[in-house]
Structure 1
Amino acid sequence: MIGQKRVPSRDGGVEIVVWELATRLRDLGYEVDCYNRYNKSVKLAEEYEKIPGKRGWYKDGIRIITVPTLKNGKLNAVIYSFLATIRALFGGYDVIHFHAEGPCLMIPIAKFLGKRCIATIHGLDWQRAKWGNFASRMLKKGEKNAALYADEVIVLSKNVQDYFKEKYGRDTHFIPNGISAPQKVGPKEITEKYGLKGDDYILTLSRIVPEKGIHYLLHAFRNIDTDKKLVIAGGASNAAEYMEEIKALAAKDTRVIMTDFIHDRTLQEICSNAYIYCLPSDVEGMSISLLEMMSYGNCCLVSDIEENVEVVEDKAPTFKKSDEDNLENVLRYLLDNPKEVEKYKKESSDYICSKYNWELVVDETIAIYKR
């Protein structure tokens, strides 16, 4: 697996998908290596383990290979992908699975040496606002390389499948992400840390980058008279200026709580006890956070982009993408109508867990490996 920043982690949707696939493939008897980017905060001896008779570091039976790269946000993904691919050429693999458009730049190198290459396009990354001209060009080139050279291409939404067919004439495999029913828990740590008691906050959970539209939510929330809090859970990802903009907006409203990245019990609690979850994004591939929040039985208010609507169907309210006034109106309606919120909550978990299944995802992925 090449393309993730590091696994296991919740740095983004790619990381979650890679680890879900890797652990399930392991359970079925496959050997899986995951190529992580170097991160100075990760202490190998503390986070991973040695297995007698095997070389390298392991986490839960999966080999973790750490690849050096540059600190420069514009180049580190390219350098990592190149070095990871070169290393993988000598790993004796049956399949090299590239995740996201950027790493797919390197597919021609692997194909030149006869390797079987699978590409998963998690979204049209060049559309994301955080990337400059150079990065966008590289992402588009990676997308084109996937279309032209990968043995098989997996996409996460029908919208992206149509895009590949229209732009490149390339047939792709639509395999959406999976989800498993979580265990809901009551508030304890979130009460101690943030004063949240349950059903008293609106939550957004994502990387804090421009395409997630968190500024729309802050602007809309500011105009609503409510005692409920707005919780922004997540950290920056190559978007320091946008992070500062969000912090400045949040500082103007004492009802806004910014948690940074959260994990483990705190994450479980904050997902279990929200009044509303809001995903106001302009661009998505297929949001893992949205699947997770629906699996917890949340009322999920989402922007009406195709990738979101395709997931929620009629089981969640929507608002017009990037329209702050419409977002404000729908939020106000949901705050004034708790019975409507409760209706969505009752439907969301069973619906999403029956629609998206990790076991089916893995079975279909293995079939593509073997084609």
Structure 2
Amino acid sequence: MIGHKRIPSREGGVEIVVDELSTRLVRLGCQVDAYNRYGRHTAGRKFDERRGKYYNGIRLITIPTPKSSALNAIVYSFLAVIRALFGRYDVIHFHAEGPCIVLWIPKLFGFHVVATIHGLDWQRAKWGNFASSMLKLGEKTAVRHADEIIVLSQNMREYFQQTYGRDTILIPNGIERPVIKKADLITKQYGLKKDEYILFLARIVPEKGLHYLIEAFKKSDTDKKLVIAGGNSHSNEYMKEISAMAATDKRIIMTDFIHGQCLEELYSNAYLYVLPSDVEGMALTLLEAMSYGNCCLVSDIKENTEVTEESAVTFKKGSVKDLGIKLDNLLKNPQKVMEYKEKSQDFICGKYNWDAVVEKTLERYKRKSIKRYKRMGKWSR
């Protein structure tokens, strides 16, 4: 596995997918190596120092990376691939567009190469022109050289077909039915109680649309709090902007990254979960929020509505006015919120399943590996 920041962590959806996928592959008898990034930044040092060489049966190989966010992914990907060339792997699985820039190298040496495109990263507002062009190059490299391309939504599948004439495999993310937790740690740490807060849980980057939500929330007449659970990801200026906006309203609480019991409690006790994204691949936090039985208010981009169908409330992407109208309506109508809460968990847990994701992914691994091994006389199953 190449392309994530590091596992185990919840720094982004890619990390969660790599973790869930790798853990289940190991249970099925596969040997999995995950190439983690390591930087000189505090977060990287904290994450790597507290982990052993193995996690859930996955061998963790740490690749040194520069502090510069502009060079981090490219240097990491190149060094990870060079190391992987000596790994005698049956499959090398790349995640996200940026790391796919070097995908042609293992392909040149005859490896079976799979790429999962988690989203059209070059569209994301946090990247400058150079970074966006590199991400687009990674996309084109995957199209040209990957044996298999996995996408997470029908919208992305259509994009690759219309743009490049390239067939892709739709394998959406999975979810498990969680155990609902009572408010305990979140009450002690943040003063939060059940149904007394609105939850935004995602990386604080421009494309997540948090600025729309804060603006709409500030205009709302409610005693409920807005909890912003997430941290910065290569968007320092945007983070400063959000912090300044939040500082003018005492109802807004910023928690930074949340994990473990605190995360479970936040999901379990929210009145409403809001995802106002301009751009998404397939938001795992949306799946998680619905799996905890939340009423969700999301932007009407296809990547969101494809997930929620009729089981969530939508607003027009980028419209603070429409977001405010829908938000006020849900704040004034708890019965309507309860109706969505009652159906969201069964709907989402019935629609998406991690075991099905692993089964379909394993099929893509084997598809050309079988042919390769038959030619070499090594395939016995």
- Shorter-chain TM range is over 0.9
2:352 pairs, out of 351, 356, 361, with: 356
Secondary structure of the structure 1 residue equivalent to 2:199: strand
2:200 counterpart SS class? strand
User: How far apart in 1 are the matches of 2:76 and 2:39?
Assistant: 12
Q: Determine which of 180, 187, 193 is the counterpart of 2:183.
A: 187
Does residue 1:42 correspond to 2:34, yes or no? Answer: no
Three-state SS of the structure 2 residue aligned to 1:103 is: helix
Equivalent residue letter for 2:110 = G
Residue of structure 1 equivalent to 2:10: 10
Matches within 5 A, 1:313-328: 313-328=309-324
- TM-score, normalised relative to structure 2: 0.94
Aligned partner of residue 187 in structure 2, secondary structure: helix
Equivalent residues in 2 for 1:154-303 (5 A)? Answer: 154-303=150-299
- Does the C-alpha gap of structure 1 residues 357 and 45 become closer, same or farther in structure 2, counting only changes over 3 Å? closer
Which of these residues, 51, 63, 67, is aligned with residue 63 of structure 2?
67
**Secondary structure of 2:221's aligned partner:** coil
2:343 aligned residue (335, 347, 351):
347
After the TM superposition, which of the residue ranges 96-105 and 58-67 deviates more from structure 2? 58-67
- The one of 128, 147, 168 equivalent to 1:132 is 128
Q: Which runs of 5+ in 1 are unaligned?
A: 50-56
Shift of 1:60: 2.0
Cα deviation for residue 79 of structure 1 reads 0.4
2: CA distance, partners of 1:164 / 1:283: 16
1:86 is matched with 82
Q: Residues 43, 313 of structure 1: CA spacing in aligned structure 2 closer, same or farther, 3 A cutoff?
A: closer
What's the CA shift for 1:48?
A: 2.9
2:145 is the counterpart of 1:142: no
Amino acid in structure 1 at the alignment position of 2:45: V
Aligned AA (1:83): L
Contact 2:39 / 2:65 at 8 angstroms: preserved in 1?
Answer: no
Instruction: Note the alpha carbon deviations across 1:23-51, whole angstroms, 9 max, x for none.
Output: 000000000000000044436885333xx
Shift of 1:59: 1.4
Q: Which residue type is aligned with residue 98 of structure 1?
A: F
* Partner secondary structure for residue 70 of structure 2: coil
How far apart in 2 are the matches of 1:330 and 1:76? 40
Instruction: From the superposition, tell whether residues 273 and 43 of structure 1 become closer, same or farther in structure 2 (CA, over 3 Å).
Output: closer
Kindly state the Cα deviation for residue 107 of structure 1 after the two structures are TM-superposed: 1.0
Structure 1 CA distance for aligned equivalents of residues 120 and 273 of structure 2: 24
Aligned to 2:93: 97
Q: Is the 8 A contact 2:38 2:48 kept in 1?
A: no
CA distance in 2, matches of 1:241, 1:44: 24
* Runs of 4+ residues deviating >4 angstroms: 43-46
> How many residues of Structure 1 are paired with residues of Structure 2 in the alignment?
364
Preserved CA contact (<8 Å) 2:298 2:313: yes
TM-score for the superposition, normalised by structure 1: 0.97
Q: Which residue of 2 aligns with 1:19?
A: 19
Write the distance in 2 (CA, Å) between the matches of 1:31 and 1:246: 42
Using the alignment, how far apart are the partners of 1:367 and 1:240 within structure 2? 41
RMSD: 1.0
- The answer to whether the 8 Å contact 2:39/2:66 transfers is no
